[in-house]
Amino acid sequence: MPVTTRSKSKRCLSSIPNDVELHLPKTSYPQKLVGSPKPRQPNRLLNQRRKKRPKKPLLPGPKPKQESSKYHCQKKDELSSTNTDFSSPSLPPNTFTHFFCQKCNCQQGVFTSLVDSCTNCMHQFDDHHDMENPWNPVCDYLCERQDLVTSIMQRLLNTRVVVIRATPFVGKTVLLMLLGYHILQEYRDLEPVFIEWETRTNRNNLPFEEYLESEASKWKSKNAKFRRFRNPAARKVFLIDEGQNSYEEQQFWHQSLKNHSTSSQSLFVLVCLYGISGISAAHEPGIASQALLVDLFQRVELRPSANNNLHILFTPKETSIMVMKWATVQNFQLENGMFEYLHATTDGHPGVLDTILAYLKLRFTNLPDSIRRTRSWSPQLCRGLIAEDSGFISELNIWGRGFWTFRSELQVKKYLGHPLYSHIPFFRVKAALRKVAELLHGYNLPDGESSDAFTFCYKMGLLHTEQPYPGRQDVTYTFASPIHRRYAYHRLFPGPEPGTRLDKMTLRQACLNVIERFSPSVLQVRSPKSQSSWGIPEAAFQNEIYCCFSHELNNIEILSEYSYTKDGRIDFYVLDKRWGIEILQSGNKNKMEEHLGRFRIGGKYHGWGILEDYIVLNFCPKSTVQALEIKDPDIQSHILQIAINSNEYTAEVYTYDNKLQTTLHLSKGRQRSHDADCDWDSDESDVYTALCDSKKLEKEAKQRMQELEQEKQEMQQEMEQKIFQLQLQLNQR
């Protein structure tokens, strides 16, 4: 239930590249708004029970319209998926509504210009929540989705059964609760019943008919508390979550749900997870999806399609409502283009949008004072945090359902062992994901190319399909959102994404970022100081450089003690970038000049012909920083002297001529990775973090080598099999 998910704050790995260009609309209505001058309470208590609404019973709503079996009749009433208008025809710009007020008789909260004060009653946003109602989704920034809810209800009344196929993390449970709330308010002849479907085993083999009646009895009592008039003959509407658990009920799907609609029969809305997370431990991968057997018109899919306008992803209007509520609650200002940027970067994915908003709120306290004073968010600022901040990807690691995570990878390998999928090698699955991850707008499968791996990824919920233009038969495979694509790219390809800021980063800047990741505890003095040593071994700096460089540039391949020829070994060589790095510990003038000479014309490393850039890093106490006599301007920029103060958690960076360039704060702003296997408390020594980093990198390297070897063997076997088949065909001729 993504819209209710409140993200935890563990950070790890390198940043995510950004593939959403900023094209701010010239005609967009103004968004640079004045926030409420009234300071908010630091802790919001949305989950607490509030006082009951004072003497305001719910009025009975209108009776439902007469059902019709003609599906095409209500097409005109449904929301078009091509809508890109961020404004609402019924409300002024920058205005949204919310529930009634708990403190007065205000029927509906109306908020405008991001001011946290209802224009009707002057009470705050937090006061406008129907917390006592069992159908109220407890969400911080709830978007009521009136258009989608109304359209689903209209379709339900015409077809009796609606199936919502969803991947995890898209707000499916919230949508069911919104439907129940809408029915309770507007349809006195309908009785909403929410069920989180349990398998036969978990409900002690209770027949599904008795199971439905038992749950209906419970909800009838709950609903009665919020209705003025009771209708014993009300038609039941079963709103079923985790509907994939009911696939084992053949009679339920093939008889109960397929009977012709009559005015006395119950209505059903089923949310069915598909993909890896939709196959529970109790179900084998071979269990067929009953949801796919339902008519297309009765299905609500994740993304829009040519055949069905109803879809779960937010429309631009819904994205703007959620963002406005977030800004109002947090007393933020939004500059022009914020709605458009957040919708483009999430593609309207509710769970991803919620994660981004939670992360922006978390990062706000670490922003510069000038930004925190104005409390203003711009698309450029958001893009910098989402695309360049290494902490954002950790949010996806935490809530990674539906993403190509390590856990998803293990599940895929497990399901490929099933007879249905055993003909698909694992490397084909990864190859399919790579092809889609490399392209911003999806991958069109060419004629003649095997689709087995793509079909498998689609069934597992890792990829989605779209028909690009009406009338075209080819299929475009894409990810659920641009963020899903970036995350997959992050795991499928080492190094930063081409064309991004990280890809264009210079060696000098990369080294500064890497040093900022250093763990102060790892660099503590371990032996008595002397004239030749300051008590920190050189190996400590080499280990930090190796681990932190890998995190900074997304597991890019780094070779240590590399020798291209028999003449010398360089400390580190970054293969893809063709970078060379030498590490010194308290090096004197002669030592530093000696190492620089190795890169000059005639030096050991220069003759290799494999270096595009190089740098010499001399780690030393501040008292030993010294000026070097380097006249060649091409050499001057290739050495940095770093004075480490592990007690103050700082690193002062000096140039060749002993001029202070910048002061870095160690392990601040560019946090190290966090491994679930090394879950140490924040106040424990960072030595454990360094050990975890080293072990994790070693484990990942071994695993990568094993995968490459396995892929090589599988490709060889497949090639041998094709050659054998061709030989048989030739012999038959």
Contact call for residues 544 and 522 (beta carbons, < 8 A): yes
DSSP letters along 525-571, please? --S---SS--S--HHHHHHHHHHHHHHHTTS--EEEEE-SSSS--EE
Do 164 and 194 reside in the same domain of the chain?
yes
Q: Which of 10-19, 194-203, 723-732 has the highest mean pLDDT?
A: 194-203
Confidence of residue 174 (pLDDT cuts 50, 70, 90): very high
**674 compared with 291, residue with greater pLDDT:** 291
Do 154 and 298 reside in the same domain of the chain?
yes
Which residues are CB-contacts of 116 (< 8 A; sequence separation ≥ 6)?
36, 38, 40, 124, 125, 328, 329, 331
Task: Give the angle subtended at the CA of 691 by the CAs of 686 and 693, to the nearest 5°.
Answer: 95
The pair of structure tokens assigned to 189 is 């002849």
Between helix 316-330 and helix 338-346 the angle, nearest 10°, is 120
Do 488 and 547 reside in the same domain of the chain?
no
Q: Express each pLDDT in 519-559 by its tens digit.
A: 877 777 665 555 455 678 778 888 888 888 877 776 677 88
630 within a domain of the structure (yes/no): yes
Confidence of residue 445 (pLDDT cuts 50, 70, 90): confident
> What pLDDT was estimated at residue 206?
94
pLDDT at 19 over 80: no
The CATH number covering residue 297 comes to 3.40.50
Do 524 and 564 reside in the same domain of the chain?
yes
pLDDT at 374 over 90: yes
> What pLDDT was estimated at residue 236?
95
Do 187 and 271 reside in the same domain of the chain?
yes
Residue 256 to residue 266: CA distance in whole angstroms: 9
> What pLDDT was estimated at residue 468?
54
Q: Which of 313, 344, 363 is the last residue of a domain?
A: 313
- The percentage of the chain sitting over the pLDDT mark of 70, rounded to a whole number, equals 72
Mean pLDDT of 637-641: 92
The CATH number covering residue 455 comes to 1.10.10
Confidence of residue 218 (pLDDT cuts 50, 70, 90): very high
> What pLDDT was estimated at residue 528?
55
Q: Express each pLDDT in 550-578 by its tens digit.
A: 777 766 778 888 888 877 889 999 888 88
Do 415 and 272 reside in the same domain of the chain?
no
Distances (CA, A) of 317 to 82, 83, 181, 498: 12, 9, 21, 32
> What pLDDT was estimated at residue 18?
44
pLDDT at 340 over 50: yes
Q: Express each pLDDT in 40-60 by its tens digit.
A: 443 333 333 334 444 444 444
Mean pLDDT in the chain?
76
654 within a domain of the structure (yes/no): yes
> What pLDDT was estimated at residue 37?
38
SS3 193: strand
pLDDT at 336 over 70: yes
**680 compared with 256, residue with greater pLDDT:** 256
Q: Express each pLDDT in 472-497 by its tens digit.
A: 567 788 888 888 888 888 888 876 66
Q: Express each pLDDT in 228-267 by its tens digit.
A: 778 888 999 999 998 888 888 888 988 888 876 667 789 9
Q: Express each pLDDT in 280-299 by its tens digit.
A: 434 455 555 677 777 778 88
Mean pLDDT of 594-606: 87
> What pLDDT was estimated at residue 526?
60
Residue 359 to residue 367: CA distance in whole angstroms: 13
Mean pLDDT of 511-522: 84
E runs forming strands in 418-536: 443-444, 464-466, 476-478
Q: Express each pLDDT in 87-139 by its tens digit.
A: 445 677 788 888 888 899 898 889 998 888 999 999 998 888 887 889 988 77
In one-letter notation, the amino acid at residue 655 is: T
Do 668 and 680 reside in the same domain of the chain?
no
67 within a domain of the structure (yes/no): no
Do 550 and 485 reside in the same domain of the chain?
no
21 within a domain of the structure (yes/no): no
Residue 160 to residue 68: CA distance in whole angstroms: 10
* Least confident window among 24-38, 442-456, 659-673: 24-38
641 within a domain of the structure (yes/no): yes
345 within a domain of the structure (yes/no): no
Do 692 and 614 reside in the same domain of the chain?
no
> What pLDDT was estimated at residue 81?
36
Q: Which of 632, 648, 672 is the last residue of a domain?
A: 672
First to last CA, the chain: 60
**236 compared with 1, residue with greater pLDDT:** 236
**What is the total count of domains within the chain?**
4
Q: Which of 428-432, 628-632, 713-717 has the highest mean pLDDT?
A: 428-432
> What pLDDT was estimated at residue 711?
67
Full domain range(s) for residue 477: 406-492
424 within a domain of the structure (yes/no): yes
SS3 701: helix
Q: Which residues pair with 663 in a beta bridge?
A: 652
> What pLDDT was estimated at residue 21?
44
Residue 32 to residue 336: CA distance in whole angstroms: 6
* Least confident window among 154-163, 412-421, 468-477: 468-477
> What pLDDT was estimated at residue 552?
78
Task: Give the angle subtended at the CA of 670 by the CAs of 664 and 675, to the nearest 5°.
Answer: 135
> What pLDDT was estimated at residue 652?
93
> What pLDDT was estimated at residue 57?
41
Residue 166 to residue 257: CA distance in whole angstroms: 19
Do 679 and 668 reside in the same domain of the chain?
no
Do 652 and 561 reside in the same domain of the chain?
yes
Q: Which of 672, 695, 720 is the last residue of a domain?
A: 672
Determine the length of the chain.
733
* Least confident window among 223-237, 333-347, 380-394: 380-394
> What pLDDT was estimated at residue 389?
65
Mean pLDDT of 319-342: 93
Mean pLDDT of 8-15: 31
399 within a domain of the structure (yes/no): no
**675 compared with 454, residue with greater pLDDT:** 454
Do 274 and 156 reside in the same domain of the chain?
yes
